[in-house]
Amino acid sequence: MTRRTPSFTRRQAANLPDTPPQALQIRQLSVVYDRSAQAIRGVSLEVAPGQMVALLGANGAGKTSVLRAIAGFLAAERAEVTEGAICLGTRDLRGKSPSWIARNGVAFVPERRKIFDTLSVRENLEVGLSRQQAKRPHAHEELVYQYFPALEALSSRRAGFLSGGERQMLAIGRALMCQPQLLMIDELSLGLAPSVVTSLMRTLRRIREEQGASILFVEQNAGAALEVADHVYVLENGRVAMAGDPNQLMDVSEFRDVYLGMADEGTRSYAALIKSSRAGSREVG
Amino acid sequence: MKQAAVDRPTISAWRGHRRLVRATQRTRYRGAIVVGALAVGYAFVGSNSNLFLGTTIFIAAVGAIALNALTGNLGIVSLGQAAFLATGAFTATYLGGTLHWPFLLVLLASGVAAGLVGGIVGVPSLRWRGLYIILGTFALHYIVVYGATKYEINRVGPGGFNLPPAKIFSWTITSQRDWYLFSLVLVALTVACVAKVLRGRTGRAWTAVRDRDLAASITGIDVSRAKVVGFIATSFVVGVAGATSAYFVGNVTTETFTLNLAIQYVAMIIIGGLGSVPGAVVGAAFVVYLPHMITKVVGLLPSSYPLAGWVNTNIFDLEAGLYGVFIILFLLLEPGGLVALAQRVRRYFVSWPFRDRGVIA
Amino acid sequence: MGTLIGTVAQGVALGAIYSLVAVGFVIIYKATGVFNFAHGQFMVLGAYFAYVSISWVGLPFAAGIAVTLVITGAVGLVVYAALIRPLLGEAIFAPVMITIGLSIVLDSIISITTKGNTYLLPTPVPVHGVSIPGTTTRVSNYSLIAIVVAAVFFVLIASFFRWSGTGRDMRAAAENPHLASYAGVSLGFIFSVAWALAAVAAAIAGIAQASSTLISPDIGSVALRAFPAALLGGLDSVMGAALGGVLIGIIEMLGSQYVGSDTRDVFPYVVLLVALMVRPYGLLGSRQVDRI
């Protein structure tokens, strides 16, 4: 049985505004917590429409802060963007509330506490649907089940009882319900078995191709990220240290040693493995 | 344009900082001495009713300083002030009135009694988060007042207890001036002790507990112990204030110890400035003096003025309501209280006309 | 035995009022994490507004009640917008303190405008009441109505939270405000709805209380005894509010009957203190998880 992949055309049919995908642009971004701790300084990056961009770096390098700055800070947090610009296409995101940003094209999956444990799977997916969209939430739920069929069987289960992989699927699914132009995911692979991570990454690639959404994701597992990313930024101490095409980046020895973290010989073969994996998956599509 | 975070300070910057701190401390001591001298001098100049007012303010300030340390520094919001005052006062009536213990000993023992009650409530309070502590002290209030009422009715009846005069060795504290000077010494002692404790390691530990329970415990501060000790210590001070007030007024009834009284003390520390010892004193003065100030202002209005009549009939409700208004106003507009307001005013004048220049506060 | 049943029945009736008040606390706490000390004053406002709309303006009873609920809900909204919203993000103590200040201000406003007069709420149902078979206790009609009203209200509220979109969003925001924001939920809207709903609940409780006694500022003191009810049930559980309210009502009446009528006022607080020592999250509440 074949099912037509839901995509932009059905969205148009649902009488939603036809917004073409936009590029995310960040220029010279600085974020300060509690008016004292500088998290990132002068960070510039860009995500072109339909691109999958990886943000790498060690703990504390500022990767999560970048994502949270884009997704917006709650008024109650003591964090602020002190300089720089964040634009999704022509829309300025800086200073807007997280809920506004979510309703205007950016969906964020945080690293921890990424789903509502006390709600059911279906309720998780439906959170935040404005009354407009709520008229046909099922249209979007089907979209999510397309990518994560396992969730459909679990739709009335309390989300707190899901396994790690299922939680991550639900979290991404919830983000998809916002119909994002930009999907941001923080530490997708944390706590998940490698096979699950691979499967999720491949699903993300499908989402990217079929929905046209751009994906900006933070990863500590550099290897997994490099297999799927179109472009990579590396953060160190709150600044962009390296950026570029993954293939090129893997030839840079500093990058290999620090982020792929293996002895020279092992790294070289690991790098080769990644490269061939990328080439292979590109062919299969 | 907001400034970015400060880069790592150099050694010379640190030395300069220490010099500034020491200079500020010298000014602080000098200021305190001047104020203290003025206060003592007033004892010989002021009218009896003003001295009475002064004594009331000083005794209230003792309680306010304690509550301020508990709430502003340790972060425990307590509505139990009236309960601890009552414990102190009623213990004083028993020890002083029935057992005829000497005055100073009664004060200490009443403080201990209040501290005990604080300990009983404090131990389980370890597990409570901020909101639950508020509710717990709220319940404590009603329970203590109930107990005190039963005690009063059984022993004495609704008239309340009377206390013998206060004697320290051969000096009987009778005149308004006597009481004024005694309470002045008491509050000065409290200010000095509490300020010293708060400036030291205990104070810093308390601030850590206030700001982030879990983070504090990770840095090695025993959060539970700090909270319990803090609760007991501040209750002790409040008990002493309650006992002193009992001797000062000469009569103790449970009617005085209402929830509104506890709220008045909270108003004192908010209006004065949370976390600031002089702020607590200023706040106490403000709250105690407020009804007098209103009466004076109303008295200024010509009696033919239509509003004057209305104000006069509703004076009690207006006074009560004003506490609430001030709490709201200060919380919304100047959470640092009068102390912060004063600093802001001073900073404005100090930097004028160079308004843009930041001042090292 | 008859006295026991009668006392328990009275306790349930009293508990119905307590649970109506307690659910207001729970709604606000669950949504915004704030405890509203001015809740009792909302009750009194509800009762007085009802009196004004029915006796002075002359609206029929049902319309008067409806108007009162709308007005009181609006008051709740205004209180949230003016006093609570500016303080979100400060320590929990700040918004709680401001509700304490508000309760004092409202108290004095009420006192000044009513000058201590009490009023009788003109109600369509006569006051006699029903005897409980096998006892000599009479339970007034109003107590019965209070129980019914409370039950209906609880069903409505529970359904709202369970089935409606806003209710679901409120549950989500209560569990994880950040994530709810990232999902597009407007927290300001959620908080406003919570405060309006809680004010409406308070108004209903106030009207119910006033129907069986008189309209006076004392109505608000019922709220003070509802604190223990809310806590006993669990500050973040709507059903807990119902359970806690009824339990406190029964305990209070039993204490009054069997221990001494002057203990009536203090029993709820003893229960509160014991609950705090033994099980602070209440009977049906959820344990809080600490995060650094």
- Indicate the pLDDT class of residue A25, thresholds 50, 70 and 90: confident
Report the gap between the CA of C56 and the closest CA in chain A (Å).
Answer: 40
Q: What count of other Cβ atoms lies within 10 Å of the Cβ of residue B32? A: 15
Taking only the tens place, the pLDDT of each residue in A250-267 is 788 777 777 776 545 555
Chain B contact set for C277 (CB, 8 A) = 124
Q: In the prediction, which pLDDT does B11 show?
A: 61
pTM of the predicted structure, to 2 decimals: 0.83
Q: Is B2 on the interface with A (CB under 8 A)?
A: yes
Give yes or no for residue B288 having a pLDDT over 80: yes
Give yes or no for residue B14 having a pLDDT over 60: yes
- Helix (H/G/I), strand (E/B), else coil: A241: strand
Q: Angle at Cα A143 formed by Cα A142 and Cα A144, nearest 5°?
A: 90
Across the range C134-143, mean pLDDT stands at 66
Q: What count of other Cβ atoms lies within 10 Å of the Cβ of residue B2? A: 9
Which residues 77-116 of C are in CB contact (within 8 Å) with A? Answer: 88-89
- Indicate the pLDDT class of residue A285, thresholds 50, 70 and 90: very low
Q: 């990220």: which residue's tokens?
A: A225
Q: Is residue B280 a contact partner of residue B265, using CB atoms and an 8 Å limit?
A: no
Chain B contact set for A36 (CB, 8 A) = 5-6
Distance CA A237, CA A39 (A): 8
- Indicate the pLDDT class of residue B358, thresholds 50, 70 and 90: very low
Q: In the prediction, which pLDDT does C259 show?
A: 80
DSSP one-letter string for B27-65: HHHHHHHHHHHHHHHHTTTS-HHHHHHHHHHHHHHHHHH
CB within 8 Å of A157: residues ≥ 6 apart: A120, A121
Higher model confidence: residue B5 or residue C274? Answer: C274
CB within 8 Å of A269: residues ≥ 6 apart: none
Residue ranges of domains in chain C: 2-118+127-278
CB within 8 Å of B161: residues ≥ 6 apart: B90, B93, B97, B152, B155, B246, B251, B252, B253
Give yes or no for residue B7 having a pLDDT over 60: no
Report the gap between the CA of B59 and the closest CA in chain C (Å).
Answer: 24
Of C104, C266, C292, Cβ closest to residue B146: C266
Taking only the tens place, the pLDDT of each residue in A54-67 is 999 888 788 888 99
Chain A neighbors (3+ CB pairs < 8 Å): B, C
Q: Which residues share a beta bridge with A56?
A: A219, A234
Q: In the prediction, which pLDDT does B360 show?
A: 44
Percent of chain B with pLDDT over 90: 32
Taking only the tens place, the pLDDT of each residue in B91-125 is 999 888 888 888 889 999 999 999 999 988 777 76
Q: In the prediction, which pLDDT does B83 show?
A: 95
Across the range C247-253, mean pLDDT stands at 90
Q: Is A81 on the interface with B (CB under 8 A)?
A: no
Q: In the prediction, which pLDDT does B6 show?
A: 44
Chain A contact set for C286 (CB, 8 A) = 118
Q: Sheet of A214-219: strands edge to edge?
A: A106-109, A182-186, A214-219, A52-57, A231-236, A239-244
Distance CA B136, CA B128 (A): 9
Q: Angle at Cα A44 formed by Cα A42 and Cα A48, nearest 5°?
A: 170
Distance CA B310, CA B294 (A): 14
Give yes or no for residue A8 having a pLDDT over 60: no
Distance of alpha carbon A31 from the chain centroid: 20
Q: 């950016």: which residue's tokens?
A: A106
Chain A contact set for C175 (CB, 8 A) = 116-119
Across the range C82-101, mean pLDDT stands at 85
Taking only the tens place, the pLDDT of each residue in B36-52 is 888 888 888 888 888 89
Q: Which helix (H) or strand (E) holds B74?
A: none
Q: Which helix (H) or strand (E) holds B24?
A: helix B11-42
Q: Is A119 on the interface with C (CB under 8 A)?
A: yes
Q: Is A38 on the interface with B (CB under 8 A)?
A: yes
Q: Is A99 on the interface with C (CB under 8 A)?
A: yes
Q: Which residues of C235-268 are buried (b: 16+ CB within 10 A; e: fewer)?
A: bbbbbbbbbbbbbbbbbbbbbbbeeeeeebbbbb
Kindly determine whether residue B4 and residue A37, on different chains, have CB atoms separated by under 8 Å: no
Q: Hey, CA dihedral for C157, C213, C65, C119, is it positive or negative? A: negative
Report the gap between the CA of B2 and the closest CA in chain A (Å).
Answer: 7
Half-sphere exposure at residue B123, Cβ-oriented, CA atoms within 13 angstroms: 7
Give yes or no for residue A12 having a pLDDT over 50: no
Distance CA C121, CA C46 (A): 12
Average pLDDT, chain A: 81
Give yes or no for residue A14 having a pLDDT over 50: no
| DSSP at B253 | -
Q: Is residue C38 a contact partner of residue C103, using CB atoms and an 8 Å limit?
A: yes
Average pLDDT, chain B: 83
Taking only the tens place, the pLDDT of each residue in C12-56 is 888 998 999 999 999 998 888 888 999 999 999 999 888 888 888
Of B138, B317, B331, Cβ closest to residue C101: B331
| DSSP at A78 | S
Kindly determine whether residue B139 and residue C83, on different chains, have CB atoms separated by under 8 Å: no
Across the range B348-355, mean pLDDT stands at 66
Percent of chain A with pLDDT over 70: 83
Kindly determine whether residue C227 and residue B135, on different chains, have CB atoms separated by under 8 Å: yes
Q: Which helix (H) or strand (E) holds B171?
A: strand B171-173
Q: Is residue C99 a contact partner of residue C34, using CB atoms and an 8 Å limit?
A: yes
Q: In the prediction, which pLDDT does A9 show?
A: 38
Across the range B272-295, mean pLDDT stands at 90
Residue A126: C-alpha distances to residues A179, A214, B180 (Å): 12, 22, 68
Q: Is B294 on the interface with C (CB under 8 A)?
A: no
Taking only the tens place, the pLDDT of each residue in A118-144 is 899 999 999 988 655 556 667 788 888
